[in-house]
Amino acid sequence: MINLNFHSPEEEIHHPLFLEKNIRVYLKRDDLIHPFISGNKWRKLKYLLINAEEAGKKHLVTFGGIWSNHLLATACAAAKFGFKSTGIVRGEDISTDVLTFCRLFGMNLIFVDRESYRDKQTIFNKYFDTDESALFINEGGAGKEAAKGCAELIEELQQQYQHIFAACGTGTTAAGIINGLNQKPSTLFHAIPVLNGSFLKDDIKKLLRNPVNFEFHTDYTFGGYAKTKPNLIEFIADFASSAGILLDPVYTGKMMYAVFDLARKDHFKPGSNILAIHTGGLFGLLGMKEKFGKQLLQIK
């Protein structure tokens, strides 16, 4: 039996800005769910794994880049719940901390060039056409089943929030949370895309059970996927040293930066409760440790 039930805590973040604006900000600590099956990746894998087991699939095949939180989560979850795993990795065989952990968890890695990587089904068929036990899991776990797991986050909440924030890569987590809110008019969802492109808003909409309005903030991509700027790094360092909580520069750093920026711009009514989802993924920090370290030295 696969059991991926876990309630992560909601923790209030104290900051002079929030006092001044008379708002309360909480962080849902999904980063505490598991060190490797971290944050939203745990929620996204839940029904994929349960369905895989029911369908008699024994081999998880999935896709990602050399720093993919999803590859790492899948590798660890496969080991934990008795599956074989294969990771199809975009680009050349460069050893990273994430890929080293994937290998440790027993994941078999296949490297494919960027061009072929685009057509995931063709690659899957090429290697696993005759393997009945192999299950295709899309990059990032994206899709309906993953959104279903993310929707459950809402049932766990201990109090009412007027605003909920999450970072978006594929938008699956965002869509799941919006579905979980179940058209509750008192809560507005805010999507913080971490990459440029308006397709993401449509990708979220495609996964919604009902059409619901949400805010889609395009000002916090910091130049694109996995791109950073000195003010983002400075923010992550300030937050770490004042709250004792690490954020990663790819997802949660940008999301939390948005919460602070919008608070500063009086986007929230006084008296509002705001929840930001810490979707985990701290290995993203290791992926940038050199660049990050150098910039930190310049800032401090």
Ligand X SMILES: *Cc1c(COP(=O)(O)O)cnc(C)c1O
Q: Which of 167, 178, 188, 212 binds ligand X (CB under 6 A)?
A: 167
Interaction between residue 86 and ligand X (CB under 6 A): no
The Cα 259–Cα 278 span in angstroms is: 12
CB of 285 to ligand X, least distance (A): 11
Interaction between residue 138 and ligand X (CB under 6 A): no
CB of 158 to ligand X, least distance (A): 22
Nearer to ligand X, 128 or 243 (CB): 243
Report the half-sphere exposure of 296 (CA within 13 A, side-chain side).
14
What kind and span of H or E run contains 296?
A: helix 289-299
Interaction between residue 165 and ligand X (CB under 6 A): no
CB of 72 to ligand X, least distance (A): 9
Q: Which of 13, 23, 27, 39 binds ligand X (CB under 6 A)?
A: 39
Nearer to ligand X, 152 or 248 (CB): 248
DSSP assigned state of 31:
G
Beta strands across the sheet bearing 215-216: 10-13, 24-29, 273-278, 163-168, 188-193, 215-216
Q: Which of 176, 246, 249 is nearest to 32 (CA)?
A: 246
Q: Which of 124, 251, 257, 292 binds ligand X (CB under 6 A)?
A: 251
How far, rounded to the nearest angstrom, does the alpha carbon of residue 159 sit from its chain's CA centroid? 23
Q: Which of 180, 262, 149 is nearest to 216 (CA)?
A: 262
Tokens of 299: 């800032």
Q: Which of 64, 65, 87, 140 binds ligand X (CB under 6 A)?
A: 140
Q: Which stretch binds ligand X (CB under 6 A): 49-57, 119-127, 128-136, 275-283?
A: 275-283
Q: Which of 62, 69, 74, 85 binds ligand X (CB under 6 A)?
A: 69
CB of 178 to ligand X, least distance (A): 12
Nearer to ligand X, 40 or 85 (CB): 40
Q: Which stretch binds ligand X (CB under 6 A): 59-67, 86-94, 169-177, 287-295?
A: 169-177
Burial call 30-49: b when 16+ CB within 10 Å, e when fewer: bbbbbebbbbbbbbbbbbbb
Interaction between residue 214 and ligand X (CB under 6 A): no
Interaction between residue 257 and ligand X (CB under 6 A): no
Interaction between residue 169 and ligand X (CB under 6 A): yes
The Cα 264–Cα 113 span in angstroms is: 44
| Helix/strand/coil for 47 | helix
Cα distances from 232 to residues 61, 85, 155, 223, 236, in angstroms, run: 34, 35, 32, 11, 6
Interaction between residue 171 and ligand X (CB under 6 A): yes
Interaction between residue 287 and ligand X (CB under 6 A): no
Interaction between residue 228 and ligand X (CB under 6 A): no
Residues near ligand X (CB under 6 A) are 39-41, 69-70, 140, 167-174, 248, 251-252, 279-281
